[in-house]
């Protein structure tokens, strides 16, 4: 298994489709495949052990993700909003590495041992003009595909390990190949260092849906891009959705006729916000996606019909499902356990445990936190109602 399989299938199935747009720049699936191959050659030549992305979303983001997989080194997106000292500490943990960053930051890392620093533009240019790595990518499913630093309330950030088998299993279990129409477009405004940003790249590539990148979110820019690019699908976090509906009126559906599906996640959605959003976008299919870095993204979804049923119901128990995360994805098992480790009855709150092929639960230096039966303790609290 290797995420390069996903891009190879896309390039062969619909290579001339536009894959990503960022401002006035764009790249097709075939061009992305070729660029990943050339960037993989650069990565191999550099001798680096990791590829670090320290930047907002750009065409460098998908190129680097797939090129890393082709070259057989982990892709490590780092939060560009951290302090310089925090960034330096994380970079130090993954040296020697190729570091791709904003042109304004390259000087901050010049002269450091173990760093091959590339500006975003230089990386993209070399990928577009170079020749592909002649070596085939590894199909070892246990190769590390992505390292993601997760923030904690205490101590240094933990480096979550996502192996190729976890990433590919998530996509194959949740996305239908070539399911998007050529005119479909997904607006992605989550940052590259978030698992949702990584899964958005892979799922869009596999489905054939064009990605419209919004490097820095504002409600005004989001609304403008939806209109200008004919965006059909979007993912936002709850705070973004609140800002969006504050910025528009009840006639939004007439102003944004292309928007068909609006997914959200990354935090608890206030009931008042989702109720208002469903009024503002009455024709959109809403979905609440719940997942973690350690589970390779989404493990449970509250789907469009469940949203409509809950919103229309007079039954308080049914209506409460509007703030739930729905049901587990196919291939994912979820249990609620009490402090003694026993499985809770329906409606009883406890810790969420999850099991499935996409679940990693592994950290650098700590190993796997999966128990003997493959269950991962999320440390999130929740309950399961009678309907599951």
Kindly report, residue by residue over 86-109, the tens digit of the pLDDT: 999 999 999 999 999 999 999 999
User: Which of 146, 168, 190 is the C-terminal boundary of a domain?
Assistant: 168
**Domain co-membership, 11 together with 75:** yes
Find where tokens 């993204």 sit.
297
Whether 330 is covered by a domain: the verdict is: yes
Give me the pLDDT at residue 110, please.
Answer: 87
> What is the per-residue pLDDT across 262-285, written as a single tens digit (0 to 9) for each?
999 999 999 999 999 999 999 999
**10-19, 252-261, 368-377: range with lowest mean pLDDT:** 252-261
pLDDT band at 248 (very low <50, low <70, confident <90, very high): confident
Confidence check: pLDDT of 323 > 80:
yes
Domain extent for 252 = 217-382
Give me the pLDDT at residue 130, please.
Answer: 95
Once rounded to an integer, what is the mean pLDDT over residues 345-352?
A: 94
Q: Closest Cα partner for 244 from 207, 191, 189?
A: 189
CA distance 234 to 217: 13
Give me the pLDDT at residue 153, please.
Answer: 57
Q: Mind spelling out the 3-state secondary structure of 117-160?
A: EEEHHHHHHHHHHCCCCCCCCCCCCCCEEEEEEECCCCCCCEEE
- Per DSSP, what are the bridge partners of residue 14? none
CA distance 190 to 266: 10
**Domain co-membership, 290 together with 146:** no
Q: Provide the token pair at 261.
A: 């599906």
Q: How many residues does the chain have?
A: 388
pTM: 0.95
Whether 184 is covered by a domain: the verdict is: no
Total number of domains constituting the chain: 2
Q: What is the CATH number of the domain that holds 36?
A: 3.40.50.12780
Task: Provide the pairing of β-strand 25-28 with 350-355.
Answer: unpaired
Q: What are phi and psi of 60, to 5 degrees?
A: -65, -25
CA distance 181 to 5: 21
pLDDT band at 154 (very low <50, low <70, confident <90, very high): low
Q: What are phi and psi of 28, to 5 degrees?
A: -85, 170
**18-22, 161-165, 277-281: range with lowest mean pLDDT:** 277-281
Once rounded to an integer, what is the mean pLDDT over residues 35-50?
A: 98
Alpha-helix runs per DSSP H in the chain: 4-14, 29-46, 60-71, 84-93, 120-129, 164-174, 195-207, 219-229, 238-246, 252-255, 271-280, 304-312, 316-319
């Amino acid at each position: 298994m290797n995420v390069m399989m996903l891009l190879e299938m896309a390039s062969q199935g619909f290579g001339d489709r536009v894959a990503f747009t960022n401002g006035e720049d764009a790249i097709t699936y075939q061009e992305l495949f070729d660029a990943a191959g050339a960037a993989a050659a650069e990565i191999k030549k550099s001798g680096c052990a990791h590829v670090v992305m320290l930047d907002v979303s750009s065409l460098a983001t998908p190129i680097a993700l797939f090129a890393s997989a082709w070259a057989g080194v982990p892709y490590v997106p780092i939060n560009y909003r951290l302090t310089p000292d925090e960034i330096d500490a994380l970079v130090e943990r993954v040296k020697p590495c190729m570091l791709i960053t904003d042109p304004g930051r390259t000087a901050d890392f010049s002269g450091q041992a173990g760093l091959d620093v590339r500006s975003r533009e230089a990386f993209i240019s070399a990928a577009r003009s170079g020749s592909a790595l002649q070596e085939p990518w590894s199909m070892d499913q246990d190769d590390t595909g992505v390292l993601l630093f997760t923030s904690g309330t205490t101590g240094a950030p933990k480096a979550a390990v996502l192996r190729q088998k976890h990433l590919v299993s998530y996509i194959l279990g949740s996305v239908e190949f070539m399911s998007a129409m050529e005119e479909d477009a997904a607006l992605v405004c989550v940052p590259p260092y978030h698992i949702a940003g990584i899964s958005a790249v892979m799922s869009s590539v596999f489905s054939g849906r064009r990605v419209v990148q919004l490097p820095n979110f504002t409600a005004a820019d989001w609304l403008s891009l939806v209109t200008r690019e004919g965006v059909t699908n979007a993912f936002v976090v709850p705070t973004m959705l609140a800002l969006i509906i504050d910025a528009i009126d009840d006639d939004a559906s007439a102003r944004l006729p292309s928007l068909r599906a609006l997914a959200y996640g990354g935090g608890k959605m206030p009931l008042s916000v989702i109720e208002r959003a469903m009024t503002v976008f009455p024709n959109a299919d809403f979905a609440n996606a719940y997942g973690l870095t350690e589970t390779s993204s989404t493990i449970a979804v509250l789907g469009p019909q469940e949203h409509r049923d809950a919103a229309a119901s007079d039954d308080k128990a049914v209506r409460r499902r509007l703030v739930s995360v729905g049901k587990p994805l196919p291939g994912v098992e979820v249990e609620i356990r009490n402090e003694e480790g026993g499985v809770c009855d329906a409606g009883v709150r406890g810790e969420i445990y999850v099991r499935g092929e996409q679940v990693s639960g592994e950290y650098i230096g700590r190993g796997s936190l999966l128990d003997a039966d493959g269950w991962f303790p999320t440390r999130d609290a929740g309950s399961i109602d009678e309907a599951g």
